[in-house]
């Protein structure tokens, strides 16, 4: 059976709204992450971490259930945590821009 050529990207959708990819969520939708740490650049305490990995309904979630969470410090540093495993914060890679 021959396939039909499409123009542009093709998005696959789940029939269940809760399983839609996070990229399909509104830009203002996210969940807050219950985690804080000092900024590696300026030392200020950063508490405003967010994730788009979950329901994106402004819930507050434990950092261990998020795959990727991030925040911007008052100094402008962008702090990302990306999970390697979920056992402790030591199982995340930290990236700072």
pLDDT at 19 (0 to 100):
44
**Does a structural domain hold residue 18?**
no
Task: Assess if residue 15 is contained within a domain.
Answer: no
Looking at the domain assignment, is residue 7 inside a domain? no
With b meaning 16 or more CB within 10 Å and e meaning fewer, what string describes 22-58? Answer: beeeeeeebbebebebebeeeeeebeebbbbbbebee
Residue 83's pLDDT is 82
Tens digit of pLDDT for each residue in 21-80? 444 444 568 899 999 999 999 999 999 899 998 888 888 888 888 888 999 999 999 999
Range of the domain at 46: 27-96
11 located within any domain: no
pLDDT above 50 for 87: yes
**Has residue 4 been placed in a domain?**
no
Instruction: Confirm whether 64 is domain-assigned.
Output: yes
Asked whether residue 10 is domain-assigned, the answer is no
Q: How many domains does the chain have?
A: 1
Establish if 19 belongs to a structural domain: no
Burial of 92 (0-12, 13-18, 19+ CB in 10 A): buried
Say whether pTM exceeds 0.85.
no
pLDDT at 16 over 50: no
Residue 2: is its pLDDT beyond 70? Answer: no
């Amino acid at each position: 059976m021959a396939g039909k050529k499409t123009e542009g990207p093709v998005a696959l959708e789940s029939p269940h709204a809760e399983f839609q990819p996070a990229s399909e969520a509104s830009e203002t939708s996210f969940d807050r992450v219950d985690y804080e740490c000092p900024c590696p650049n300026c030392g200020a305490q950063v508490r405003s971490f967010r994730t788009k990995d979950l329901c994106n309904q402004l819930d507050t979630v434990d950092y261990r259930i998020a795959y990727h969470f991030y925040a911007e410090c008052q100094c402008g540093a962008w702090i990302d945590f990306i999970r390697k495993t979920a056992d402790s914060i030591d199982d995340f890679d930290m990236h700072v821009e």
